[in-house]
Amino acid sequence: METHRPITDSRWTECLRLIENNLTQQQFQTWFAPIRSAHFEEEQRELTLCIPSPFVHEYIEAHFVKLLRTVLVRVYGNGIKLKYEVTTDATNGITVDFEATTPSTVSTQPIRTYAVNQAPEPLQQLDSQLKPEYTFENFVEGAANKLPLTVGKAIAQNPKQSTFNPLFIYGGSGVGKTHLVNAIGLRLKELHPEKRVLYVSAHLFQVQFVNAKLQNKINDFISFYQSIDVLIIDDVQEFAGLEKTQLAFFHIFNHLHQNGRQLILTSDRPPVALQGMEDRLLTRFKWGLLAELEHPDVQLRRDILSFKVRRDGLQFSTPVINFIAEHVDKSIRDLEGVVNSLMVYSLVHNCEIDVEVAERVISRTIGMTTPRAVLTIEQILEHTCHFFHLDRSDVLSQSRKASVVLGRQVAMYLAQKHTTLSTTKIGIAIGRRNHATVVHSCQSISQRIDADADFRSRVKELEELLKA
Ligand code: ADP
Ligand code: MG
């Protein structure tokens, strides 16, 4: 029995900080904040945590022991011993050494000293390798990502009951696969901190596998992966043609799947299009849920832009946002690139960002397609009038007749897409209109293209004629 304790070891404060980063505020407040003090005995390398009740200890042991162990090894180094002491109400100043005062319960109570040696599995198992900024909060929802996003959130809530196993997310480059699977992993860790979540790219998995093979440690490699609760492998198309890596992954996959652990995979194409992949793996990829992350439509591109512009404290006018959203249509990564370039441009040139500036920066950042440089506005006008059976003079006039307006807008849209002319110049060339009218026209045509399949294929047909 003691009445006095040395002050809390400063390294324990560092441990608490790491623990706090890995838990929700509520978990941390409930289970770690009540730890009254911690003192470290150098010679024995023994850390004693003073806790208010045995229940706290049991709960920590049951739910956070791996986290605790990892953090202790990281901060204090290997081979430290951990001891818990239950301290009574601080008001009477009595501290009870649990082991010393209740020896008979030592064998039945879980409170005792145990050695924190080298964690049984490698340390990195608890470092999930997740990117902290790729959260659900930073992921803008839209029609193109609704299904994978909804399923991802469901899995993060309830990984045990997931019938979506594996969750196989596929989609083109820059559509948000890596971001989404990271967000699932982060939410999972937040809600289920006891789960071992690991994010790994297929490429890194393969490198680790080759290294393990060279060092004769294949068994360690496989058993490490088999100990994961939620395994996220990004870009599995990279396994193509790598038979041995595929075999190792096959064993891991089976083990995890049989034991109800969650697998989340991404690929740049659906399983049917994966060449050089073993059939038995492809079959397994289809066991759970295949969800496509589609190319973002113009609305989602606009929403993402607005979100990023707001987050970065920038000020882009609505026409500028619309202009970018309409012209940068392949990947969200490109959208981000354009926002960054515009930000730099406006700083360097100390200017407001208007549509003209945006256009210049876009053509430099993501390049213009070749046809854009080749076609002239005259060719576009000629083909468009012919295609819609309109008179060129009507299109250039002030006529508000619906068929004429449509032809005029399509011509503007195509000029925007396939020439290097600014919207101002396009406006002048097509009936002396101002650039805002051109921007509006392009916007309404691209919305209609997104929404109306019939219209989309007609415009496509016209574009083919133009390129011929
Ligand atoms: P992929 O893995 O499919 O190639 P990423 O996940 O790397 O694509 O996404 C590219 C960039 O776009 C990332 O910076 C990501 O944050 C961003 N991004 C993708 N989808 C969204 C979205 N829905 N909302 C916000 N940002 C997104
Ligand atoms: Mg990716």
- Domain-embedded: residue 131: no
Lowest-confidence region among 61-70, 180-189, 400-409: 61-70
Say if residue 21's pLDDT is above 50: yes
Residue nearest to atom 26 of ligand 1 (CA): 139
For ligand 1, what atom is nearest to the CA of residue 303? 24
389-398 tens-digit pLDDT: 999 999 999 9
Lowest-confidence region among 27-36, 151-160, 362-371, 408-417: 362-371
For ligand 1, what atom is nearest to the CA of residue 171? 3
Q: Considering every ligand atom, which ligand is closest to the CA of 203?
A: 2
Question: Same domain, yes or no, for 255 and 304?
Answer: no
Residue nearest to atom 20 of ligand 1 (CA): 176
Q: Considering every ligand atom, which ligand is closest to the CA of 172?
A: 1
Kindly give the distance from the C-alpha atom of residue 237 to the centroid of ligand 2, in angstroms, as a whole number.
Answer: 11
- Domain-embedded: residue 113: no
Question: Same domain, yes or no, for 408 and 307?
Answer: no
Say if residue 113's pLDDT is above 50: no
Lowest-confidence region among 22-31, 427-436, 446-455: 22-31
Q: Considering every ligand atom, which ligand is closest to the CA of 294?
A: 1
Question: Same domain, yes or no, for 277 and 187?
Answer: yes
What pLDDT, on the 0 to 100 scale, is given for residue 153? 94
What pLDDT, on the 0 to 100 scale, is given for residue 367? 63
Question: Same domain, yes or no, for 280 and 190?
Answer: yes
Q: Considering every ligand atom, which ligand is closest to the CA of 170?
A: 1
Q: Mean pLDDT, the chain, as a whole number?
A: 84
Say if residue 174's pLDDT is above 60: yes
Question: Same domain, yes or no, for 182 and 263?
Answer: yes
Kindly give the distance from the C-alpha atom of residue 179 to the centroid of ligand 2, in angstroms, as a whole number.
Answer: 7
- Domain-embedded: residue 305: yes
| CATH code assigned at 267 | 3.40.50.300
| Separation of alpha carbons 290 and 183, rounded Å | 18
User: By residue range, what is the domain housing residue 311?
Assistant: 298-366
What pLDDT, on the 0 to 100 scale, is given for residue 100? 27
| CATH code assigned at 66 | 3.30.300.180
Question: Same domain, yes or no, for 348 and 217?
Answer: no
Say if residue 205's pLDDT is above 70: yes
Question: Same domain, yes or no, for 213 and 332?
Answer: no
What pLDDT, on the 0 to 100 scale, is given for residue 112? 36
Band (pLDDT 50/70/90 cuts) for residue 318 is very high
Q: Considering every ligand atom, which ligand is closest to the CA of 303?
A: 1
Kindly give the distance from the C-alpha atom of residue 332 to the centroid of ligand 1, in angstroms, as a whole number.
Answer: 6
Q: How many CA atoms lie within 13 A of 333 on its CB side?
A: 8
What pLDDT, on the 0 to 100 scale, is given for residue 27? 75
Question: Same domain, yes or no, for 156 and 249?
Answer: yes
Domain count, the chain: 4
For ligand 1, what atom is nearest to the CA of residue 293? 3
Question: Same domain, yes or no, for 151 and 238?
Answer: yes
What pLDDT, on the 0 to 100 scale, is given for residue 218? 92
Q: What is the pTM of this model?
A: 0.58
Lowest-confidence region among 146-160, 364-378, 445-459: 364-378
Kindly give the distance from the C-alpha atom of residue 445 to the centroid of ligand 1, in angstroms, as a whole number.
Answer: 26
Q: Choose one of 131, 170, 179, 268 to mutate for the ligand 1 pocket test, by most ligand atoms within 8 angstroms of C-beta.
A: 179
Kindly give the distance from the C-alpha atom of residue 178 to the centroid of ligand 2, in angstroms, as a whole number.
Answer: 4
Kindly give the distance from the C-alpha atom of residue 176 to the centroid of ligand 1, in angstroms, as a whole number.
Answer: 3
Kindly give the distance from the C-alpha atom of residue 341 to the centroid of ligand 2, in angstroms, as a whole number.
Answer: 21
Say if residue 92's pLDDT is above 70: no
Residues having CB closer than 6 A to ligand 1 are 138-140, 145, 171, 173-179, 304, 332-333, 336
Kindly give the distance from the C-alpha atom of residue 277 to the centroid of ligand 2, in angstroms, as a whole number.
Answer: 19
- Domain-embedded: residue 116: no
- Domain-embedded: residue 216: yes
For ligand 1, what atom is nearest to the CA of residue 175? 3
Of 274, 292, 310, which closes a domain?
292
- Domain-embedded: residue 189: yes
Question: Same domain, yes or no, for 189 and 283?
Answer: yes
Average pLDDT score over residue span 31-36: 80
Residues near ion ligand 2 (Cβ under 5 Å): 177-178
- Domain-embedded: residue 128: no
37-88 tens-digit pLDDT: 788 888 888 888 888 766 677 778 777 888 888 888 888 888 888 888 876 5
